[in-house]
Amino acid sequence: MVFKKGFTAHLILVVVFVIAAWGVAIYLLVTKGLVKLPSFLNIKKEPTVELKTQYQNPFHKQSQYVNPFDKYKNPFAGI
């Protein structure tokens, strides 16, 4: 049996396209709610842990952002 030149490349492209089409179809069906995921795959679970205290940032708010266009300021220059 003699294959034409490029047959394998076309076959691989068709297989990849079919797999991608199946993936997109399943994704759309799940996101639209037409197909339910099994309970062990339920990705949209709410967290079951409750925080006892609210997180407070211990750093100054102004020191959190660094402007990349500012000139370098040596923090040790004033010492």
What total number of domains does the chain contain?
Answer: 1
Residue 77 in domain: no
> Is 71 a domain residue?
no
**What is each CA distance from 49 to 30, 32, 52, in whole angstroms?**
26, 28, 9
Give dist(CA 7, CA 15) in Å, integer. Answer: 12
Residue 70 included in any domain: no
Q: Is residue 46 in a domain?
A: yes
Range of the domain at 56: 7-63
B/e letters for 3-28, b = 16+ CB within 10 Å, e = fewer, are eeeeeeeeeeeeeeeeeeeeeeeeee
pLDDT digits (tens, 9 = 90+) for 5-63: 777 888 899 999 999 999 999 889 888 888 777 665 656 667 778 888 888 877 777 66
Does 1 map to a domain?
A: no
Q: Is residue 69 part of a domain?
A: no
User: Is 41 within a domain?
Assistant: yes
At 13 the pLDDT is 92
